[in-house]
Amino acid sequence: MAKIKRGDTVQMISGKYKGKKGRVISVFPKENRLIIENINLHKKHARPKKRGEKGQRIEVPGPVSASSAMLVCKSCGKSSRVGFKVMPDMVKKRICKKCGGEA
């Protein structure tokens, strides 16, 4: 599950939001789920906090399955599979399977 991290840009590859891109807000590795910006929005009712303020309906993103999202490569800009490569300085980096650049 270390293939997708918080802050990555992902593209949905299946489901209702197929083809849409968004930034990962949070990751839940045990449940294999992601929360992505502007994907799977739900309406949440918020009570008024101060006197005279009105209650409101806020749109909040819900979690989606990590298997329906694919990482978008920073170098080529396409969604692709992710590989790993150990660099000479013993640092493990994610690489794009399409262009070979750093994902």
36-80 per-position pLDDT tens digit: 999 999 999 999 989 999 999 999 999 999 999 999 999 999 999
| Domains by residue range for the chain, with CATH | 1-72 (2.30.30.30), 75-103 (no CATH)
3: DSSP letter: T
Taking residues 81-98, report their average pLDDT.
93
Give the pLDDT score at 1: 42
**Closest residue by Cα to residue 83 from 92, 75, 91, 74:** 92
Give this prediction's pTM: 0.83
Burial string for 56-71 (b: 16+ CB within 10 Å, else e) reads eeeeebebbebebbbb
Instruction: Give the per-residue pLDDT at 44.
Output: 95
Q: What pLDDT does residue 96 have?
A: 93
